[in-house]
Amino acid sequence: MSDMNTLSIKKHKTGLMKIWGLLPIVVPLVLLLCLVWLIVGIQGKKAALKAEKEAQMNSEPVRVNVVALEMVPGAIRDRISLPAVVEPWVSLQVLVEVSGKIRGIEVDEGDAVKAGDVITVIDDRDYRIAYNTAKANYDVAVANLKRMEKLYKDNLTTRSNLDNASAQAESTKAAIDNASLSLERSTVVAPIHGIVNKVHVDAGQYLNHSDPVVEILQMDRVKIKVGIPESDVEAVRRLTDFKVTIEALSEKAFFAKKHFLSRTADARARLYDLSLSVENAQGKILPDMFARVEIIKNQVSEGLAVPLYAVITRSEKNIVYVVNDDLAHEREVTLGFQEGWRVQVTSGLQPGERVIVVGQRSVNDEQPVNLVQTVSDPEELTQ
């Protein structure tokens, strides 16, 4: 009996050992089968989802809400705005032409003067004495010349004596002219009309030749000086009229005429000086005020334009989307000059067509769209 039990136990152990021996082979096979089952299941779900998505897209295309701008011909201008500064039409330092002490100042700063008005008078006593002396010498020389002419006519003197008398008369005439000019210059007058901007001297002050007396500004018209970039010189050369705004005068606009365009550029900034003339009869425009000059380089009276953001660049092509029959149609366009946030379209669009300006980056060619709004005035897009 015990031998049978022993034999049974040995058989049982042998079976267990065989099973344990198969485990390294069976377990990986089971795991591999499970992994394959999971992969097949996931791939099947992906395929089902893809098929479902494609079916939905084919059955009902997505509509994109868009806003369109109707193409209405209008004025488009290629313009730039450049900083400028105001200068007086004439700024003149009046200098004395003779030396002497000032007897009095006849003008004050801010006075309006006309050409010929007396500004100041230099003590002229020395110059008057010199004039009287020169005049007396001249009178003597003239009388002597007349006597010599009579004597020469009567053959009582030589030609040499007559020539000397004539030369003496001419010399004293030059001296009297010089003395007369100095006497005249002792009264300093305004050479031009304008406004006395500054008085440099006081009564009783001694002045030397060429010392400044007053500064006169001619302000009934003014110069507007603006630097023109090299790239814009050719356009400015063709223009004659400009619009100028003065910042200090509440951005008031003035119309200006071209006065002079420099032939050479500034050495540092490489800008060409442009001088404009502006009428200033009321005198409101003052020197050194800051201004802005609007330069219209080109303009089209009946052109088409779209917002810059409506244009999409793809493969070096400029395209826009046009709405027609509730579909977005891709359209290649040719662009011209820019005005602010708008750009001119020279080809590719026709008046009356509607260009998508909101939602254009969410659509493709032939995609259904829902046109929410159409505007005809571009300014409505900025509100």
pLDDT digits (tens, 9 = 90+) for 366-383: 999 999 999 988 888 877
Residues 234, 322 share a domain: no
Nearest CA to 291 among 374, 234, 225, 196?
A: 225
pLDDT band at 36 (very low <50, low <70, confident <90, very high): low
For residue 89, pLDDT over 80 is answered with yes
Q: Which residue shows structure tokens 């507007």?
A: 224
Count Cβ neighbours within 10 Å for each residue of 136-150 and write b for 16 or more, e otherwise.
Answer: ebbeebeebbeebee
Q: Which residue shows structure tokens 């004659």?
A: 240
For range 27-45, the mean pLDDT: 69
H-helix or E-strand containing 140?
helix 125-153
**End-of-domain residue from the set 262, 297, 332:** 297
CATH code of the domain in which 271 resides: 2.40.30.170
Structure tokens at 102: 């000032």
The better pLDDT of the pair 153, 90 is held by 90
Question: According to the model, what pLDDT value does residue 1 have?
Answer: 47
Residue 47 class from Cβ within 10 Å (0-12 exposed, 13-18 middle, 19+ buried)?
exposed
Domain tally, the chain:
4
Residue 151 class from Cβ within 10 Å (0-12 exposed, 13-18 middle, 19+ buried)?
middle
What are the pLDDT digits (tens) for 318-345?
999 999 999 999 999 999 999 989 999 9
CATH code of the domain in which 345 resides: 2.40.420.20
**End-of-domain residue from the set 254, 279, 297:** 297
Residues 206, 96 share a domain: yes
The better pLDDT of the pair 27, 38 is held by 38
For the chain, percent of residues with pLDDT exceeding 90: 72
For residue 15, pLDDT over 70 is answered with no
Distance CA 99, CA 161 (A): 39
Instruction: Provide the 8-state DSSP code for 383.
Output: -
Nearest CA to 356 among 318, 315, 320?
A: 320
C-alpha of 242 from chain center: 12
Mean pLDDT of the chain: 88
For range 240-246, the mean pLDDT: 95
Phi and psi angles of residue 12, each rounded to the nearest 5 degrees, phi first: -65, -45
For the chain, percent of residues with pLDDT exceeding 70: 87
Radius of gyration of the chain (CA): 50
Question: According to the model, what pLDDT value does residue 47 have?
Answer: 67
For residue 285, pLDDT over 60 is answered with yes
For residue 259, pLDDT over 90 is answered with yes
Residues 326, 270 share a domain: no
Domain that holds residue 284: 81-86+217-297
Per DSSP, the residues of 195-260 read EEEEE---TT-EE-TT-EEEEEEEEEEEEEEEEEEGGGHHHHHH--EEEEEEGGGTTEEEEEEEEE
Residues 105, 27 share a domain: no
Distance CA 67, CA 310 (A): 11
**End-of-domain residue from the set 196, 212, 228:** 212
* Whether 90 contacts 217, CB under 8 Å: yes
CATH code of the domain in which 142 resides: 2.40.50.100
Structure tokens at 68: 């369109």
